[in-house]
Amino acid sequence: MHDIGRRRAYAIWGAGLAVYVLAVFHRTSLGVAGLLAADRFDINASQLATFTVLQLAVYAGMQVPVGVALDRFGSRILIISGLVCMTVGQLWFAVADSFAMGLGARALVGAGDAMVFTAVLRLVAVWFLVRQAPVITQVTGMIGQMGAVAAAVPLSAALHGMGWTRTYALAASLGVILLLGAFAVIKDSPYERGEVERIKLRALRHSLTEVWRDPGTRLGLSVHFTSQFAPTVFALLWGYPFLVSGQGLSPTTASTLLTMMTFVALVAGPTIGRWTGRNPYYRSVVALGVVGAIALVWAVVLALPGRAPLWLLVVLVAVTAVGGPGSMIAFDLARTFHRSDRLGRASGVVNMGGFVASLVTMALIGLVLDRLAPGGPSTYTLDDFRIAMSVQFLLWGFGAWMIWRYRRRSLDRVAQSPGAMDALRRGEALLPGISRDHEA
């Protein structure tokens, strides 16, 4: 019904992308406010971590239901619903004055956030050409991180200048503006409505089982699990306290380093997207390389007997930031191993990986800090953070093993379809007999 990959496609994608930028802002808005939140709600490290852990647990737990709803109802309804939930949740957080109220607000923010990203990815999948999709997907993740920039230095300044309630209420009001744009611009698909698969309840269990059993789904989930959690944990919760209380940086310098993560992703995202678009056979190998680099730099920083020099912290933050674009490889893998009518569910399953890893890591770090420094955030030392942040290596090791295991199984799956392996080696991401039907 409409041309794909043209001006209308970019307008629709832009409207969805704006909502995703706001979702990232809401998701990361506690990053520089962690120490203030600890004082406002009079809570310890484990309770502080619970805010973000609960938010991400809701996000991860909703990914499969959201994927099913996405395939059933389309992107527009999901984006609008998510925007409403985030706006209400952030406004609630602005006036919350107890730990329980704060938890409820962050859970609502997580629920709204869960509906946005995969819905935007589906718009990319149906509105752009196959050769455009990998780069547009990377650019989506890259530009979305601009929300994290706004949640670093500007939000920190606003919190100290306007106070807690006014700052978060102003953040909530942005959702009302974007809601108008979403209503006016976003259209689910350039194709007839009948092209969207209608999910019936009796077929749901079988459909989800098929998605999960595909080794490509598990490979994508493994890549997302292993690549995404380090930058997420650092930006959303523990990076700011680690830099300020552990490494002795000023709040301004720490906020600047968190902002730098986004600009590194701006450069790394398109680079990774172009390379993996031309060499899809090596996508999971690239992901392993990214994870290995992150783990190596963290090992160096944590092994130092004293505080790391500023230049090394810059390197640490920059390399860690590459994990965000690296995790986007997971969604391109899902696109390879699933037809478009199952892409929403597959993307939902894949998207659970990084957020499950993130919430586990955040909770473990909080538990270790509480054990080592029961006096609270004001008593944290570098040695406390050195031990607590080391829990990341457990998840990197487990995730790397999963990637290697399911890479082999996925290649075996490709080899079973005539012509698919040759197509993959030639640089094609959509394979005959797998992600599309056999051509006549």
The CATH number for 136's domain is 1.20.1250.20
* CB-CB contact of 326 with 285 (8 Å): no
198 is a domain residue: no
Report CA 276 to chain centroid distance, whole Å.
Answer: 19
107 is a domain residue: yes
* CB-CB contact of 261 with 317 (8 Å): yes
Nearest C-alpha neighbor of 335 from the set 291, 288, 283: 283
365 is a domain residue: yes
* CB-CB contact of 197 with 188 (8 Å): no
pLDDT value of residue 200: 40
2 is a domain residue: no
SS3 content of the chain, % helix, strand, coil (to 5): 80, 0, 20
436 is a domain residue: no
pLDDT value of residue 227: 96
Q: What are phi and psi of 96, to 5 degrees?
A: -60, 135
Can you give the residue range of the structural domain that contains 69? 7-186+211-426
203 is a domain residue: no
Distances (CA, A) of 90 to 107, 118, 166, 264: 10, 21, 11, 28
Q: What are phi and psi of 409, to 5 degrees?
A: -65, -35
194 is a domain residue: no
276 is a domain residue: yes
Q: pLDDT tens string for the chain (440 positions)? A: 556 667 888 999 999 999 999 998 898 888 777 778 887 888 887 888 888 888 888 988 888 788 888 877 888 999 999 999 999 999 999 998 889 999 999 999 999 999 998 899 888 878 887 667 767 877 887 788 778 777 767 887 888 788 888 988 998 999 999 999 898 888 887 766 544 434 443 454 556 677 888 899 999 999 999 999 999 899 878 898 899 999 999 988 998 898 888 889 888 888 888 888 889 999 999 999 999 999 999 999 999 999 999 999 999 999 999 999 999 899 889 888 887 767 777 887 888 888 889 889 988 998 999 899 888 777 889 999 999 999 999 999 999 999 999 999 999 989 988 889 998 998 888 888 788 643 32
Nearest C-alpha neighbor of 369 from the set 95, 111, 38: 38
Scanning 151-214, the segments in alpha helix (DSSP H) are 153-162, 164-185, 201-213
* CB-CB contact of 345 with 67 (8 Å): yes
Number of domains in the chain: 1
